[in-house]
Amino acid sequence: MSDFQQGILVVDDQQVVRHTLALCLQNLGFTRIYQAENGREARKILSSHSIRCVFCDLNMPVEDGFEVLKFLDAQAYPGAIILMSGEEEEVLASTANLARLYQLNIIECVAKPLSFATVKRLLSASERELDIEANHAPHSLPPLTAKLLKGYIDKGGLSAFFQPQISLSSGRLKGFEVLARLFKPDDSMVFPDQFIPTAEKHLESITDLTKRVIECAYSDINQYGKDIGNLSFAFNISAKVLEAANFPQWLQATTAQYQLRPEQVICELTETAFTTDQATIDTQMLRLKMMKFKLSIDDFGTGYSSIAQLHSVPFDELKVDKRFVLDCLSNTKSAAVVEQSIQLAKAIGVNVVAEGIENQEVCDFVKALGCDIGQGYFYAKPEPLSVFDWRAASIQGGNRE
Ligand code: G
Ligand code: G
Ligand code: MN
């Protein structure tokens, strides 16, 4: 739902662009429209008004669009941002990527002039994004201290959320990725960005957290008894957890205790925890593999060692990082990474998951390239297992309200 109490800011040094855009916005029913002809004016308006969405030109003689982005980033601006530029497509795509380095809701970087249809589409995309954002972590929140984290966990605040993974050829539910969530005593939710880095500072705390997440998930899964059939469950395992000597044995015993089969359990190896002991890590992965657990490389394409790892350990799956999937239709370089990753997976005979599918078009694109599995907000956001009507075994894309 649009919040008409909040304004929209148009920043452009060309008066004609500002006026045309303001007219479009008026026609769409918005009344609080503010205009600024450069970054300096924009900052003044942003400091004194409640602004839900900013249309911002990049090339301006006095304080350009990047200055505005820097300002918004420093304020942890929660609204939507649409960047406009007169540059050619290649430059637009690189600019959009650069802009994403800021922790901001950049909806798109579009070529000027904007048509009425484009403005309408961008506004509805920004409403969607803000809706999602409202359910997600506010940006730039400081990490929890180790003490607070331990306190919340001890009070039973840790829980497992599940995000569906869909077989693209059949459209059927294939399984779930399990994502950790932490609830404070007042029931507000803390997202992993705020507590995984804290936990990863110590081998004991990330290992303890991982084991608890897995136990939580197994216990939720058990409530459904035999209904789960062959569904798979993927857990995020930091490299540090593999340094804990008994992790594979613990996982084997716990999986058996909850009457799940190791073939249903996927260990997604993340590269976030820096480690120098590659031999130990590889040994532990091989142990898991021999116990019949499945191994997956998470965030494929972002770590330098991914391809080397793919070669030295028998992985079953690779997950193309969402940063490439998200803009693969507008950025030819992302499209190339997605395409090459899928081809590489096919060539070496492992499954490939495209993560970050947000609409039908991207779903069609990766499917046409031969991608096996899709995951993303198009199908569903991570939620408690009880929310899904997954026994129907088909979670259709586009169902998000
Ligand atoms: O959905 P989301 O915001 O939950 O996840 C953000 C990041 O946190 C992802 O990169 C994900 O891999 C990581 N993450 C989520 N749950 C866990 C977990 O249980 N263990 C580890 N190591 N990382 C996790
Ligand atoms: O790093 P890892 O692959 O474990 O990250 C999973 C993260 O991706 C979680 O934070 C999850 O919430 C997020 N995620 C899942 N699907 C989508 C999507 O369609 N769009 C976006 N922006 N994030 C997604
Ligand atoms: Mn993951």
Considering every ligand atom shown, identify the ligand nearest to the alpha carbon of residue 137 and give its number.
1
* Domain spanning 3-130, CATH class: alpha beta
Report the C-alpha gap between 268 and 266 in whole angstroms: 6
- For ligand 2, the distance from its centroid to the CA atom of residue 356, given in whole angstroms, is 6
Position 358, amino acid: E
Point out which residues pair with 179 in neighbouring strands: 161
- For ligand 2, the distance from its centroid to the CA atom of residue 301, given in whole angstroms, is 15
CATH 3.20.20.450-classified regions of the chain: 144-392
Contacts of 349 (CB under 8 A, 6+ apart): none
pLDDT confidence of residue 4: 46
Summarize the confidence of residues 309-335 as an average pLDDT: 90
| CATH fold for domain 144-392 | TIM Barrel (3.20.20)
Condensed to tens digits (0 to 9), the pLDDT of residues 23-81 reads: 989 888 888 999 999 999 999 999 999 999 999 998 888 888 989 999 998 888 889 99
Considering just the CA atoms, what is the radius of gyration of the chain in Å?
23
Question: Which of 264, 231, 265, 254 is CA-nearest to residue 388?
Answer: 231
Using omega within 30 degrees of 0 as the cis cutoff, is the peptide bond preceding 113 cis?
Answer: yes
What residue's CA is closest to ligand 1, atom 15? 179
Q: Above 50 in pLDDT, residue 1?
A: no
Ligand 1 contacts CB of residue 382 (under 6 A): yes
Ligand 2 pocket, CB under 6 A: 163, 179, 236, 298-299, 322, 355-358, 375-377, 382
CATH 3.40.50.2300-classified regions of the chain: 3-130
Long-range contacts at 243-246 (CB < 8 A, ≥ 24 apart): 243/203, 243/275, 243/277, 243/280, 243/281, 243/284, 244/203, 244/204, 244/207
Ligand 1 contacts CB of residue 331 (under 6 A): no
- pTM confidence score: 0.73
Ligand 1 contacts CB of residue 191 (under 6 A): yes
Q: Are 363 and 147 in contact (CB under 8 A)?
A: no
Considering every ligand atom shown, identify the ligand nearest to the alpha carbon of residue 216 and give its number.
1
Ligand 1 closest atom vs CA 273: 22
What residue's CA is closest to ligand 1, atom 21? 236
User: Which residue from 269, 300, 322 has its CB within 8 A of the most atoms of ligand 2, so it is best to mutate?
Assistant: 322
DSSP classification of residue 276: S
- For ligand 3, the distance from its centroid to the CA atom of residue 350, given in whole angstroms, is 17
What residue's CA is closest to ligand 2, atom 23? 356
- For ligand 1, the distance from its centroid to the CA atom of residue 183, given in whole angstroms, is 15
The DSSP annotation for 168-218 comes to TTT--EEEEEEEEEEE-TTS-EE-HHHHHHHHTTSHHHHHHHHHHHHHHHH
Condensed to tens digits (0 to 9), the pLDDT of residues 148-206 reads: 999 999 999 999 999 999 999 999 999 999 999 999 999 899 989 899 989 998 899 99
